[in-house]
Amino acid sequence: MDTVRGFSEPSPQPVDTDAPLNVLLVEDDDEDAEFLEIILSQVTNPPFLLERAQTLHETLDYLTRAEADLVLLDLFLPDCKGIETLQSITRVVPRTSIVVLTGANDERLALTALNRGAQDYIVKGHLHTAQLSRSMRFAVERKRVGIALMESEERLRSVIENALDTILSLDQNGTIQSINPAGERTFGFKSSEVIGKNIRILIPDLATLLPLAKDSYETGTGQIIGQFIEASGLQKNGNMIPLELSLSETTSGGQPLVIGVVRDVTDRKLSEARLRKAQEDLVQAAKMAVLGQMSAGISHELNQPLEALQAYVDNVEQLLKEKRYEEVRSNFVAISDMTRRAGKIVSNIKNLVQHQPQEKRPVLTKTVMESALAFMQIGNRLDGIEIVRMYQAEPAWIMGEAVQLEQVFLNLIGNAIDAMQHLSNKRLIFIITSTKSQVWVTIRDTGPGISKSVLSKIFDPFFTTKSSQKGLGLGLAISSSIIQEFGGTLEASNHPEGGAQFTLTFDKIGEEQFS
Name the residue among 245, 262, 258 with its Cα closest to residue 210. 258
Q: What is the pLDDT of residue 15?
A: 44
Q: Where are the domains of the chain?
A: 21-158, 163-264, 266-355, 357-515
Q: What is the pLDDT of residue 7?
A: 31
Structural contact between residues 298 and 345, judged by C-beta atoms closer than 8 angstroms: yes
Structural contact between residues 29 and 123, judged by C-beta atoms closer than 8 angstroms: no
Name the residue among 443, 454, 435 with its Cα closest to residue 410. 443
CATH of domain 163-264: 3.30.450.20
Structural contact between residues 504 and 365, judged by C-beta atoms closer than 8 angstroms: no
Count of H helices and E strands in the chain?
Answer: 15, 17
Taking phi over 0 as left and psi of -120 to 50 as alpha, with beta for the rest, 174 belongs to left
**Distance (Å, whole) CA 349 – CA 284:** 13
pTM for the whole structure: 0.40
CATH of domain 357-515: 3.30.565.10
**Distance (Å, whole) CA 232 – CA 235:** 10
Overall fold of domain 21-158: Rossmann fold (3.40.50)
Q: Which sign, positive or negative, has the C-alpha torsion 465, 471, 476, 477?
A: positive
Cβ contacts of residue 293 below 8 Å, gap of 6+? 379, 414
**Distance (Å, whole) CA 169 – CA 167:** 7
Question: How many CB atoms sit inside 10 A of residue 458's CB?
Answer: 21
Which regions in the chain score pLDDT beneath 50?
A: 1-15, 216-217, 219-222, 296-297, 300
**Distance (Å, whole) CA 214 – CA 220:** 10
Cβ contacts of residue 24 below 8 Å, gap of 6+? 50, 51, 52, 53, 59, 62, 63, 68, 70, 71, 72
**Distance (Å, whole) CA 75 – CA 81:** 6
Structural contact between residues 213 and 259, judged by C-beta atoms closer than 8 angstroms: no
Q: What is the pLDDT of residue 161?
A: 87
> Could you tell me whether strands 21-26 and 438-445 are parallel, antiparallel, or unpaired per DSSP bridges?
unpaired
Exposed/middle/buried for residue 394 (C-beta within 10 Å: 0-12, 13-18, 19+): exposed
Question: How many CB atoms sit inside 10 A of residue 310's CB?
Answer: 12
Q: Which residues pair with residue 399 across a beta bridge?
A: 362
**Distance (Å, whole) CA 36 – CA 27:** 9
**Distance (Å, whole) CA 441 – CA 507:** 12
For 32, 109, 117, 406, 407, the CA distances from 84, given in Å and listed in that order, are: 21, 11, 12, 80, 78
**Can you point out the beta strands (E) in 419-475?**
427-434, 438-445
Exposed/middle/buried for residue 404 (C-beta within 10 Å: 0-12, 13-18, 19+): buried
Q: Residue 56: what are its φ and ψ, rounded to 5°? A: -65, -40
Q: What is the pLDDT of residue 87?
A: 92
